[in-house]
Amino acid sequence: MLILVLNPGSSSLKYQLRRIGPSETKPGVLLDRVIDSPQGGTLDPDLLGAVYDVIDAAVRDITGGTRPDAIGHRVVHGGDRFSSPIRVTPDVMGTIEELGELAPLHNAASVACMRAAAARWPRTPQVAVFDTAFHGTMPNHASRYAVPEELYTRYGIRRYGFHGISVEIACRDTSAFLGIPLGSLNAVVAHLGNGASVTAVREGRSVDTSMGMTPLEGLVMGTRSGDLDPSIVTLLQRHGLGPDEIDELLNHRAGLLGLAGSADMRAIQDAVRHGDSRAILASDMAAYRLAKYIAAYNMVVGGAGALVFTGGIGEHSGQFRSRVISLLGPLGLFIDEVRNDAGEAGVRTISTDGSRFPVLVVPSDEEWAIAEKTAAVAFPPSVQTARGY
C-alpha cells in the first residue's frame, strides 16, 4: 500500500510517499522532498498551499495517477485530547486547530495539510499521529508545574513534551544497534533541529523531557528562547507589549535568531569558524543549555546506557556535537573526532571506546513511524490481509 506522509516542522515541510508491505522492514521510499523556509525562519503558510501541486504531480508520476491508500500527518500538540493516532475527521481537525494556541508554529500547518489533502483526495483516509503521545508516560512529579491545582484541572496546565515520534523511533533504532531489548534501554535522547528537545528515557519510556506545555520551554532553539524567567513576560507586559506580541517575540524572534541574527545552525557554525562574536555566544549558549539537560537526565534515568543525537542538527553538525560533548567530561564522555567527522550513514558511535557509555548518532526517520502508525489505524491487520497488502 502507498502511504503519503506529511510532516510540517517549524521551518520546513517534509513529505514522503512510502510503500508498506509485509516483506519490508522499513517502508520503501518512493518520494522524499523537503521544502525549507528562507533563512531557516517560520514556514510560510503560502508555501504550504503551493506544495500540494508538487505532491499531486509527483504522486501521479510515480503511481500512474493512483491516489495514495492513506495519508499520515505529524501533529505536534495533542494536548489531553489525543494520546494515540486517530482517523482525521472534521471534528478532529477542529480540535487540533483549537490546540494550536499551544503550538503556534505547527498545529495550524498540520490542519492546512489535512484540508489540502482532503481537497485532493476526499475519499482517502487520513490519520493524525501526535508528537505528544510518547510522553504520556511521564510521572506526575515530572509533568506537573508547581501552580495551584485549579490551573491544572481548569486549563490543563502541565508539561506535555514534544518530538515524541522522533524519540520513539530513535529508541527503537538505538536498542537494535546496542543489541538490548527496548524495555531495558536507559538513554538520553537529544532531538536537535530548528526546534530542539531532550528526553530522559528509562526502560524504553519517556520519564521527562525539556519541552513543556508548549514547544517554547527548554533548549535554545532556532527562533524560540527556551527556558527563561516567567517574570520577563510580566515585565514586558508592564512596558506595553501585549500577549500576541510577546508570543511572537519568544516563538519567532528569539533563540539563535535573536542572538546571532540567523536561525540556521549551519550558518552559525560557519560564522563561529570565522570568529563572529554573536555566533560564538549563540553556539556556546545552545551547547551549554543542552549539556546541562543531558547531565540532569543522566541522573533521572539512573545512569544512561547511551546518549543519542538525532534530528537535522543532531545528525549533521559534527562541530556542534563536539562542542556539547566537550562539556560532558564529568559524565565520562569524550568525543572521537575521527568518528564524529566520518559522516557515515546509519546509526554510529562517535564517542571514544573509553567513554562511560556510548554517544550515538541516530538518523531521524519520523516518516517511517508515521507511515507505520497510519497503516495500522487506516487499515487494521484483517483489512490489510483481505486487500492483499
Q: 235 in a domain, yes or no?
A: yes
- Max avg pLDDT among 37-51, 86-100, 231-245, 374-388: 231-245
Grid cell 513511524 in the structure block, residue: 369
Q: Rounded to the nearest 5°, which phi and psi values hold at 236?
A: -65, -35
Shortest CA distance to 134 belongs to which of 209, 34, 32, 193? 209
| pLDDT given at position 113 | 84
| Residue-averaged pLDDT of the chain | 89
Same domain, 227 and 93: no
Q: 296 in a domain, yes or no?
A: yes
Same domain, 259 and 295: yes
Same domain, 116 and 263: no
- Residue 55 pLDDT > 70, yes or no? no
Q: Based on the structure, what is the number of domains in the chain?
A: 2
- Residue 31 pLDDT > 80, yes or no? no
Considering only residues 174 and 57, tell me which one the structure prediction assigns the higher pLDDT: 174
Q: Distance between CA atoms of 5 and 133, rounded to whole angstroms?
A: 18
Same domain, 375 and 352: no
Q: 157 in a domain, yes or no?
A: no
Same domain, 340 and 375: no
Same domain, 374 and 351: no
At 108, list the grid cell. 495550524
Q: Distance between CA atoms of 379 and 389, rounded to whole angstroms?
A: 9
Same domain, 353 and 374: no
Chain segment 184-230, per-residue pLDDT in tens: 999 999 999 999 999 999 999 999 999 999 889 999 999 999 999 99
Same domain, 322 and 223: yes
Same domain, 236 and 216: yes
Q: Distance between CA atoms of 160 and 346, rounded to whole angstroms?
A: 30
Q: 189 has which bridge partners?
A: 199, 308
3-state secondary structure the chain: CEEEEEEECCCEEEEEEEECCCCCCCCEEEEEEEEECHHHCCCCHHHHHHHHHHHHHHHHHHHCCCCCCEEEEEECCCCCCCCCCEECCHHHHHHHHHHHHHCCCCHHHHHHHHHHHHHHCCCCCEEEEECCHHHHHCCHHHHCCCCCHHHHHHHCCCCCCCCHHHHHHHHHHHHHHHCCCHHHCCEEEEEECCCEEEEEEECCEEEEECCCCCCCCCCCCCCCCCCCCCHHHHHHHHCCCCHHHHHHHHHHCCHHHHHHCCCCHHHHHHHHHCCCHHHHHHHHHHHHHHHHHHHHHHHHCCCCCEEEEEHHHHHHCHHHHHHHHCCCHHHCCCECHHHHHCCCCCCEECECCCCCCCEEECCCCHHHHHHHHHHHHHCCHHHHHHHCC
15, 30 contact by CB (below 8 A): no
Q: 221 in a domain, yes or no?
A: yes
Q: 169 in a domain, yes or no?
A: no
Q: 46 in a domain, yes or no?
A: yes
Q: Distance between CA atoms of 71 and 62, rounded to whole angstroms?
A: 16
Same domain, 197 and 319: yes
Chain segment 283-293, per-residue pLDDT in tens: 999 999 999 99
Q: 7 has which bridge partners?
A: 14
pLDDT band, very low/low/confident/very high, at 27 (cuts 50, 70, 90): low
Mean pLDDT of 354-364: 97
Q: 160 in a domain, yes or no?
A: no
- Residue 380 pLDDT > 80, yes or no? no
Domain that holds residue 45: 2-130+369-387
Q: Distance between CA atoms of 310 and 163, rounded to whole angstroms?
A: 11
270 catalytic, yes or no? no
As to burial, measured by CB atoms within 10 angstroms (0-12 exposed, 13-18 middle, 19+ buried), residue 363 is middle
Q: Distance between CA atoms of 374 and 228, rounded to whole angstroms?
A: 37
334, 234 contact by CB (below 8 A): no
pLDDT band, very low/low/confident/very high, at 170 (cuts 50, 70, 90): very high
CATH number at residue 112: 3.30.420.40
185, 175 contact by CB (below 8 A): yes
Candidate list 46, 61, 131, 208, residue with the active-site label: 131
Grid cell 514547544 in the structure block, residue: 215
Q: 16 has which bridge partners?
A: 5, 32
Residue 112 neighbours by CB under 8 Å, 6+ apart: 8, 45, 48, 49
Chain segment 70-85, per-residue pLDDT in tens: 999 999 889 888 989 9
Same domain, 12 and 38: yes
- Residue 163 pLDDT > 70, yes or no? yes
Q: 118 in a domain, yes or no?
A: yes
Same domain, 205 and 331: yes
Q: 303 has which bridge partners?
A: none
